[in-house]
Amino acid sequence: MQHLTGVISPRKAGTLAGLFRERVQRSPEATAYRHFDSRSRQWLDTDWQTMASLVARWQRAFQQEQLKPGDRVAIMLGNCREWVLFDQAALGLGLVVVPLFVNDCPENLSYVLKDSGAKLLLIQGERQWQQFMQVAERLEGLQRVITLEAIEDRQTDARLLWIEAWLPTGPVGALVARESKPEALATIVYTSGTSGRPKGVMLSHSNIISDAHAGLQCINVYTDDLFLSFLPLSHTLERTIGYYLPVMAGACVAFARSIQQLNEDFKTIRPTIFVSVPRIFERVHLRIEEQLQAKSPFARKLFERTVSTGWHRHEYSQGRASWHPDLLLWPLLDRLVARKIRESLGGRVRLTVCGGAPLSPAIARIFIGLDIWVLQGYGLTEASPVISVNSLQDNIPASIGKALPGIEVRLGERDELLAKGPNIMLGYWNNEEATAEAIDRDGWLHTGDKARIDEQGHIFLTGRLKEILVLANGEKIPPAEMEMSIIADSLFEQVMVIGEQRPFLAVLAVLNKERWDLLVQEYKWRSVQDELLRDRSVESVILKRIALRTATFPGYAQIRRIALTLTPWTIENGLITPTMKLRRNRILEHHSADIERLYAGH
């Protein structure tokens, strides 16, 4: 691994646009980005100098729109090279970037564009245009809509321009450096909250740069590292760690084609680092379990031995376990089992950062046991976003690591985790009341998460302040912990524990179709699918599986009823956020009839 150009310091960068220009100057001919070209059906590389020339062209196009520093411009694209071009061109002109999730619903799109006062919007193509047209009449302040893909039917909206018509032709000169101050507003990121309207988190250039730089002090990233980018760039975790941090370190980023093609992209790109959320690991784990089910008892035992030996090897390397003769078996177990699974991720992954939600320690243990180093971290959009992370030298997957350098953490009332540092947001856009609730007079950000901190500084999440279910008898249960235990059963794709002011706990569950079909075959159930999902004898079988997973919880916290479905909760149907968190209130509303059935007569 090489540090040919060195990490760019916050002082040297100044702003996010300054960071980009410094990278271009230090390594103009190094590969910056890799993307799949649909025309040639090939993966193509772009060096930093070429990126600078392209950014300059985009800046001239922005200037034609008569935009002023501080004006907001919005982007609604999947991860691609154009996302970076738009972002850097805008930031270099002192504009404020407002990212939108590519599949967001029209209502959210309308709210964010109107609340931010965005004057220009970049979209992908026909699908996003149709979403926009549903709310176009409400957006009189939006002056221009640019589309990457040509759209035949403009539907009489004169604001629409195809990118090829928007970008200037001919020589455009060098990058414009209309310097913002480091503390100036760089972006407004609307948090996709689990309830209520999203809030616009205001992040400055220095907020984001300080957070990326602090991350590099915990995890080394080298110039020959290759990131695979697939979490949405509208999600601050991917934007800071999967985009700005590689610019700071001089690493290359490859943009995955889609989540559906991710397996193939891993094998083609062969990344060394990627940023993920727990759901990706859960899906890989589910695939491993399905493959093991089809193998012999010996093969399953061999897998278990590999994981246990690999985990002991990890703990030994961390100084938390003594040497054991079993460690001598690792080269053989690695060759027979672990290496084959690593090949499914390209065979070169040296670390992956996992955030957005807690990853089950049991699943983390499996991947680490297979020599795939999962480093769990923690943060919020309001913290740019990372507050803490594990490191290769000190990795406790049950924890969310230690606070990044320069960030203070402490426990407040009811053990709430509080954070303070240069990464903490400027506040919420047009919402002083919400800002005052989130950041106290002493500058501490109130995360809403409960935690404990050990003597060495490792942070362990213990629940959510607001996500506590209170049963009718007054007993309190943190649902997230139970949900994590239940979801470890591969039968379940998604689960939500319910029971607020009810006599007992119940579960709403989305089943994995393949595992459900196997269960139906195993028990020889005969009925119409919908009737089978509501059959009490079927429910009894599944409740027994859940009971095995939740046996360690108190007696009053046992699950007594369950509503089953095969229809997943998605971003498109509004039941999960773009960061894959459950929208609990919406799920409750969506399944109101099921809930009443579960509690009927009680």
The mean pLDDT value for 413-417 works out to: 95
**268 pLDDT more than 50:** yes
Q: CA-to-CA distance for 89 and 232, rounded, in angstroms?
A: 20
φ/ψ (deg, to 5) at 31: -70, 125
2-16 burial: b if 16+ Cβ within 10 Å, else e: eeeeebbebeebbbb
The mean pLDDT value for 369-390 works out to: 97
Which residues face 226 on adjacent strands?
252
**155 pLDDT more than 70:** no
**156 pLDDT more than 80:** no
pLDDT tens-digit readout, 235-260: 999 999 999 999 999 999 999 999 89
The residue type at 563 = A
Task: Enumerate the domain spans of the chain.
Answer: 10-23+31-272, 274-347+349-409+416-464, 469-599
**500 pLDDT more than 70:** yes
Identify the pLDDT of residue 4.
44
Q: CA-to-CA distance for 470 and 464, rounded, in angstroms?
A: 13
The secondary structure of 513-537, three-state, reads HHHHHHHHHHHCCCCCHHHHHCCHH
CA atoms within 13 A on the CB side of 526: 1
The CATH number given to 469-599 is 3.30.300.30
- DSSP secondary structure of 196-210: SS-EEEEEEHHHHHH
The residue type at 256 = A
- CATH entry 3.40.50.12780 includes domain 10-23+31-272: yes
Identify the pLDDT of residue 602.
60
**Mean pLDDT estimate for the chain:** 92
pLDDT tens-digit readout, 35-73: 999 999 999 999 999 999 999 999 999 999 999 999 999
What global pTM score does this model have?
A: 0.85
Identify the pLDDT of residue 553.
79
Which residues face 517 on adjacent strands?
none
Instruction: Report how many helices (DSSP H) and strands (DSSP E) the chain contains, helices first.
Output: 23, 26
Number of CB atoms found within 10 A of residue 405's CB = 13
Q: CA-to-CA distance for 172 and 54, rounded, in angstroms?
A: 9
Report yes or no: 337 and 257 within 8 Å, Cβ to Cβ: no
Alpha helices in 134-230 (DSSP H): 163-166, 205-218
Look at 194-198, 462-466, 531-535, 547-551 and tell me which has the smallest mean pLDDT.
Answer: 194-198
- CATH entry 3.40.50.12780 includes domain 274-347+349-409+416-464: yes
pLDDT tens-digit readout, 94-119: 999 999 988 887 888 999 999 999 99
**282 pLDDT more than 90:** no
Give the N- to C-terminal CA distance of the chain in Å, as an integer: 63
Q: CA-to-CA distance for 560 and 506, rounded, in angstroms?
A: 6
The mean pLDDT value for 522-534 works out to: 87
Report yes or no: 595 and 565 within 8 Å, Cβ to Cβ: no
- Tell me whether domains 10-23+31-272 and 469-599 share a fold: no
118: closest CA among 89, 147, 148, 141?
A: 141
